[in-house]
Chains A and B, each alone.
Chain A
């Protein structure tokens, strides 16, 4: 569904990623883990799609499939109108400058044996024919964009804090003027005050450079702040998508509602207010053994017999929203 008639930057149809675990001789035998199960979504230029879910839902695997760091088991993937589903490493190379990734762990994603300036310059060295002086100028420009001074660029990664390292990772991702940045939990490892700085940086960069983001996080408050649209994942599939404000104000899928309700609010409840019991009991299920029918039905407070048998497809719910539920929650009166 096109919002403005323009073509989507990233068009994902029916994407699946399967892993085979174990062997015929091992206890339990050979099993298939459906890490990503029939995911379809579109990303339009200039928007930020937030992808939220708990551990084991497949969001990191999906991110890696979208950037083609992993091979796709089924489905199609179009970037800028071009089918990149099965492109080999060589064919992907010219596309990489336009499709970049920022990773979660600022301590692991920077090579400790290289100076920061070298780390940021590396994409330039690989993909362009810039001379050393030109590269340095570009590196300083990128450093300024993310708030790093030129003299800081000559230091080693271990001399920087987590938030600063994340800035370095972002500068590196921006080096080749990408169109799309996939950010996999970029602020999860950061303290809350530093998190706010990096979130603001993402917003600034989007305005100045016209970037499009796929922003993956497990923190619902962060996703609400940065995204224009949000998608919720559960056990490998998308259960709800929609414009962020509408989705958070009136979630249609029971899982989305439970997630939002579970986030502890930084306000002291009024005296005498009854404590709300946690909506969801138990743990998120393992993708090794998914339930039949709707994947969420064992934990859903509103499950019916239909939910146990038939898996609901992701269906249009009006207002640019889609939900995979037989009994979506009605909007509040």
Chain B
């Protein structure tokens, strides 16, 4: 029986670490994160504020904007190492092979230039496009993302478009050079729920229409559940659980994931008298406990959690939690029925 050859993932991140200088030593915003993104796959990255999810993906493209950040580890895109790549090379990669869409559509576009001109600018930065050809392509893209009267929108300024329309325009711009990977950092957080549904539908179509892989960062588990093939859960700069969407949502293994899923008020069915919640607050980066960073807030923590935990290698359903499969059921009930002391 012939063996299927191993396909190299599109993006391979290994032991990525991003540190900033703090008053008392370096702060690790991202501490040893590893994951893969396959071609055409949708990876969801979930976490709350301070989990390091945005910093992880910003550092892939060198967009941290912080001159004092140190990035270590390995980020390979199509086999090519991105960390340490000269700025010129990185610039050629951005927008052309890896594109990024950010959270706030109201501030994502330069206010003094027309929407169409900004798309044309990206096209012309990465290829030889005549003005008319670039214009035609831009209008085609605006239509593909569902904007009505795309030729008219081409001439408009960003402030003349609504939030939902702007986000579509930003997505159109990001896709203009047919990138293999699209990173979307909280793309719908700032949008109304009905507009969010439309944008999520659009992102879903991207895979079939454009063939792009997508990394979707969100704090909203619902958004991730509807779109992602695989999911990473991040806490305090580390990956605490990873797996397919089904594995995570149907049978998660990490107490933090249980807490996150349990904290969501149900939209149907019986209403709990009290929402299961995770007690306490996320730790400050300069005061991380030894061992598992979540242990102080975990109702199922014990002495094993003080020991430093191994980093998760990318791959199958895995969790950075010492609980054995036998202990999980009882631990989950303990976590969901009583929050740990704050």
Contacts and interface: CB of A to CB of B under 8 A. Distances in A.
Whether the complex brings A and B within 8 Å at their CB atoms is answered yes
A199 B204 contact: no
A325 to B, nearest CB: 17
A225 B273 CA distance: 9
A190 to B, nearest CB: 9
A265 B222 CA distance: 5
18 contacts: A192-B48, A192-B219, A196-B262, A200-B275, A200-B277, A219-B193, A221-B266, A221-B267, A225-B275, A262-B196, A263-B193, A264-B200, A264-B222, A266-B222, A266-B264, A267-B249, A278-B194, A280-B198
B192 interface: yes
Of the listed residues B194, B195, B200, B220, the one surrounded by the most CB atoms of chain A closer than 10 A to its CB is B194
Interface in A106-146: none
B260 A192 contact: yes
A263 B265 contact: no
A284 interface: yes
Contacts, number: 131
B265 A193 contact: no
A264 to B, nearest CB: 3
Nearest to A149: B342
A284 B194 contact: yes
Contacts of A33: none
Interface string B265-283: 1111001111111110100
Contacts of A258: 194
Contact of A264 (B225, B246, B263, B281): B225
Given A260-B267, A283-B162, A284-B192, A193 B201 contact: no
B308 interface: no
Contact of B267 (A196, A265, A268, A279): A265
Given A221-B267, A263-B222, A268 B201 contact: no
Contacts of B264: 192, 221, 266
Interface of A: 54-55, 147, 161-164, 191-197, 199-200, 203, 218-222, 224-225, 245, 248-249, 258-269, 275, 277-281, 283-284
A225 B225 contact: no
Interface of B: 48-49, 162-165, 192-198, 200-201, 204, 219-223, 225-226, 245-246, 249-250, 259-268, 271-279, 281, 339, 342
Contact of B278 (A147, A193, A203, A245): A193
A161 B281 contact: yes
B50 to A, nearest CB: 9
Contact of A218 (B162, B193, B268, B271): B193
Given A147-B342, A258-B194, A263 B267 contact: yes
Contact of A281 (B198, B274, B278): B198
Contacts of B198: 278, 280-281
